[in-house]
Amino acid sequence: MKNHHYQTKVTWTGNTGEGTKDYKAYERCHDINIDGKHPILGSSDPSFRGDKSKYCPEDLLVASVSSCHMLWYLHLCTTAGIVVTAYEDQAEGVMMENTNGSGCFTLILLRPVITLTDESMIDKANELHKEANKVCFIANSCNFPILHEPLYKIAAAGNVEA
């Protein structure tokens, strides 16, 4: 077994002069920095007094699940002999907020639009979403369902829903 380590520096930038004197006295803005990479400007969700022009942790969780799934899916297609020429996902996460202000994600729905070169490979391509969920590092770390509603296109042809 091999361990991989990831380091991230998060710096709160939302002190407007009074710190956390009260709930409305500070901004939720922060910078996410990883050595050698462009910073990510973060905030909380606008529902929680965040800046809607910045990424919130919930956005980043959904993006992490979507991108990890895509990377594994493309790998699995490669090993299965399925040629993918385009992949775009419109992922959506659902978070339930509890009465005490806590919350949790209840599901993430991936809606990838995938362009294949061979229509006869759609059934196999569709099966690989389940396989990708089994090996995706991020999906394996989540305690909620990750669902898929793929749409397939054939290069130079029309759409095919699975």
Over residues 29-56, the mean pLDDT reads 94
Count H helices, E strands: the chain?
2, 10
Q: Where are the domains of the chain?
A: 9-48, 57-161
CATH of the structural domain 57-161, one choice from 3.40.50.1100, 3.40.50.10440, 2.40.340.10, 3.30.300.20: 3.30.300.20
Backbone φ and ψ of 105, nearest 5° = -75, 140
Residue 128 has a pLDDT of: 97
Residue 156 has a pLDDT of: 78
Over residues 120-136, the mean pLDDT reads 96
**What percentage of residues in the chain have a pLDDT greater than 90?**
91
Q: Is 75 helix (H, G, I), strand (E, B) or coil?
A: helix
Between strands 159-161 and 151-154, the pairing is antiparallel
pLDDT-derived band at 141 (thresholds 50, 70, 90) equals very high
